[in-house]
């Protein structure tokens, strides 16, 4: 049994009395263990990684590569060469899509994605579709999930690439990515998975998902901002041309040309966010110490409680996956008495931190028939008291606007 | 509640003035709040003297942007184009009776920006 009271002490931002942080889906709080690991790097062995021979540089390199091992194990990658450090999910997505496009590994044909995608996944695909004159098709929603029958129809032997979000950052829905990956594989398409909203909330296993590439951000998994991961299956990665060039990613450079470094350095141009990577390693230790499956048990109880409580307020409509087994702890809602920006502003006066807007998922909001939502999202450090504070503040807000 | 959601602002939000589409107008312009995707459509009609004879607005948005549109459309009736172009952020904040946080600036100034774009584009 996890002692939440004890866990909350790990998060300095929760020291403020009466403070309710319900914005994990935008960025999770960072525990002291991660802050300490980052601080230790900056205080004691601040150096660039690889090549240099002094003690601190060796120490930094060890920690950096140790983090790669932790990530590989955490998502069940087959080799360390498959793990590329980036600045976050968006850079991962951009690098991946560019490299796929420029490496001639995709067959002719269309791209299939979903209406549920985050802009970080979607916009690079849109740009690629425009440049390469490929049709971009969307698997629609059914309720708060994906229409798998439509996926069967949309993904055909004319499909080169399928990109699907593992869990929605708006509705919390965990998609059956394996099912879509199987359809894609049958048709010879490459499968990309955006796992940003899922990692740290549900166990993520790249081979069980049947993915060819998967990415996520550190800052939503209790690591610092500015670090992320791109995983690409070795058989595909070795065929990809890098799309970002410079130092670190080369083995030799002449006036006329350059040769690339081995994997994974080939895809890590320039000095990466070393402190961030070390922090990510510490964050994975922290998450694994608690057990991701245990985190979900706690979060889904809160999700269930929040959905029930919010639906008990007349005028509030919850737009979230109601089967909490398949929800990563995200509850978005609209109120017929006020706009999400007003709700969030009034709630912030009661120290309830939620997020209004389209959450970088405008096509999803269009599919749900709304411009914007207010989103409450949970992690291991949240409690029923947080939900109660949300509900109380919302009832107060209703009195202001009605 | 704090100064942002004071009575006159909420009153304009709940019972907006000059709200609705205009049948016969001289200018129709749609402004967008890029921070949230909300929009505001302004309709302007000139009087024979070349002043603003009538104005109305449509759109979906938060209490700040909607009350701002209500208060601004009241204020500009009868103004010349030059007078309207001379209006600045501080005039909007004077209508609200308060300033707003940086996150809500685009909401508070949506009506004014839309008006200026409507007059110059």
pLDDT digit string, tens, across residues A349-376: 999 999 999 999 999 999 999 989 999 9
DSSP letter at A224 equals P
Catalytic pick from A80, A250, A290, A360? A360
Q: Do A349 and B1 touch (CB under 8 A)?
A: yes
Answer whether A372 sits within 8 Å of B10, measured CB to CB: no
Please compute the mean of the pLDDT values over residues A136-150 and round it to a whole number: 98
Mean pLDDT confidence for A230-253: 96
- Domain range list for chain A: 4-28+292-401, 34-288
The answer to whether the Cβ–Cβ distance between B38 and A372 falls below 8 Å is yes
Yes or no: say if B46 and B53 are a contact pair by the CB < 8 Å rule.
yes
Structure tokens at B51: 């002043």
pLDDT digits (tens, 9 = 90+) for A152-170: 999 999 999 999 999 999 9
- Top residue of B36, B69, B98 to mutate, by most chain A CBs within 10 Å, is B36
- Nearest chain B alpha carbon to A343: B62
Strand order in the sheet with A330-335: A316-319, A330-335, A373-377, A355-357
Tell me the helix, strand and coil percentages in chain A, rounded to 5.
45, 20, 35
pLDDT computed for residue B2 by the predictor: 61
Q: Does A346 touch chain B (CB under 8 A)?
A: yes
- CB-based contact B37 A401, cutoff 8 Å: no
pLDDT at A304: 98
Q: What CATH architecture applies to the domain A4-28+292-401? A: Alpha-Beta Complex (3.90)
Supply the pLDDT for residue B101.
87
With a pLDDT cut of 70, the percent of chain A lying above it is 100
Partner residues linked to A139 by β-bridges: A114
Per-residue pLDDT reduced to its tens digit, B42-55: 999 999 999 999 99
Are B4 and A345 within 8 A, CB to CB?
yes
Q: What is the mean pLDDT of residues A257-275?
A: 97
Whether the predicted pLDDT of B34 surpasses 80? no
Q: What mean pLDDT comes out for the span A89-105?
A: 96
Assigned CATH topology for domain A34-288 = 3.40.640
Paired tokens of A76 = 């069940």
Domains A4-28+292-401 and A34-288 share a fold: no
Question: How many structural domains does chain B have?
Answer: 1
Structural domain of residue B80, as residue ranges?
Answer: 3-120
Q: What is the mean pLDDT of chain A?
A: 97
A23 DSSP 8-state letter: B
Residues of A in contact with B13 (CB under 8 A): 401
Write down the pLDDT at residue B6.
87
Q: Closest Cα partner for A150 from A163, A139, A159?
A: A139
Whether B1 has a pLDDT exceeding 50, the answer reads no
Confidence of residue A228 (pLDDT cuts 50, 70, 90): very high
Tell which of B11, B39, B62 to mutate to test the A interface (max A CBs under 10 Å): B62
Of A346, A371, A401, nearest to B37 by CB-CB distance is A371
Q: How far apart are CA A34 and CA A262, in angstroms?
A: 30
Which CATH number goes with the domain that contains B46? Answer: 3.90.1010.10
Of B5, B35, B61, the CB nearest to A346: B5
How far apart are the C-alpha atoms of A307 and A340, rounded to whole Å? Answer: 17
Q: What is the pLDDT of residues A47-80, one digit of tens each?
A: 999 888 999 999 999 999 999 999 999 999 999 9
Q: Where are the alpha helices (DSSP H) in A163-245?
A: 177-186, 206-209, 234-237
Smallest CA–CA separation between B86 and chain A, in Å? 29
Question: Does A360 participate in catalysis according to the annotation?
Answer: yes
Tokens at A48, concatenated = 């660039």
- Is B40's pLDDT higher than 70? yes
């Amino acid at each position: 049994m996890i002692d939440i009271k004890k866990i909350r002490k790990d998060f300095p931002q929760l020291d403020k009395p009466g403070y309710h942080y319900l914005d994990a889906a935008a960025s999770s709080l960072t525990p002291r263990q991660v802050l300490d690991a980052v601080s230790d790097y900056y205080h004691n062995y601040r150096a660039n990684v690889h090549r240099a021979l002094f003690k601190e540089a060796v120490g930094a390199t060890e920690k950096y590569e140790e983090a790669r091992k932790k990530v590989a194990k955490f998502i069940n990658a087959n080799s360390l060469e498959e793990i590329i450090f980036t600045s976050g999910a968006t850079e991962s997505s951009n690098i991946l899509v560019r490299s796929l496009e420029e490496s001639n590994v995709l067959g002719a044909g269309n791209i299939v994605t979903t209406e549920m995608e985050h802009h970080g996944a979607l916009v690079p695909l849109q740009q690629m579709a425009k440049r390469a004159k490929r049709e971009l098709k969307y698997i629609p929603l059914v309720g708060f999930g994906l229409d798998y029958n439509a996926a069967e129809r949309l993904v055909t032997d004319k499909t080169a690439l399928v990109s699907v979000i593992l869990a929605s950052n708006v509705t919390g829905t965990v998609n059956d990515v394996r099912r879509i990956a199987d359809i894609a594989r049958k048709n010879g398409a490459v499968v990309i998975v955006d796992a940003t909203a899922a990692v740290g909330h549900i166990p993520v296993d790249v081979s069980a998902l049947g993915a060819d590439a998967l990415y996520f951000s550190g800052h939503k998994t209790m690591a610092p901002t500015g670090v992320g991961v791109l995983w690409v299956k070795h058989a595909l990665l070795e065929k990809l041309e890098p799309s970002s060039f410079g130092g670190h990613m080369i083995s030799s450079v002449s006036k006329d040309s350059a040769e690339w470094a081995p994997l994974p350095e080939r895809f890590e141009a320039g000095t990466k966010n070393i402190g961030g990577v070390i922090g990510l390693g510490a964050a994975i230790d922290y998450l694994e110490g608690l057990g991701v499956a245990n985190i979900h048990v706690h979060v889904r109880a809160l999700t269930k409680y929040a959905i029930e409580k919010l639906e008990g307020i007349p005028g509030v409509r919850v737009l979230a996956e109601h089967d909490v087994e398949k929800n990563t702890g995200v509850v978005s809602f609209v109120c017929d008495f006020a706009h999400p920006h007003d709700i969030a502003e009034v709630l912030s006066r009661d120290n309830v931190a939620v997020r209004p807007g389209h959450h970088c998922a405008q096509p999803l909001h269009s599919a749900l028939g709304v411009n914007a939502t207010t989103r409450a999202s949970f992690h291991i450090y949240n409690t029923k008291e947080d939900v109660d504070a949300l509900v109380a503040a919302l009832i107060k807000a209703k009195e202001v606007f009605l | 509640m704090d100064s942002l959601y004071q009575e006159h602002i909420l009153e304009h939000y709940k019972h907006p003035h000059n709200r609705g589409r205009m049948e016969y107008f001289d200018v129709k312009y749609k402004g967008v709040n890029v921070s949230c995707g909300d929009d505001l459509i302004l309709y302007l009609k000139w009087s024979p003297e070349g002043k603003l004879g009538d104005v109305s607005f449509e759109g979906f948005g938060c209490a700040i942007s909607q009350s701002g549109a209500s208060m601004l459309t009241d204020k500009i009736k009868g103004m010349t184009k030059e007078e309207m172009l001379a209006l600045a952020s501080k005039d909007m904040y004077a209508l609200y009776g308060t300033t707003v946080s940086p996150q809500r600036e685009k909401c508070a100034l949506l009506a004014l920006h839309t008006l200026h774009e409507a007059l110059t584009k």
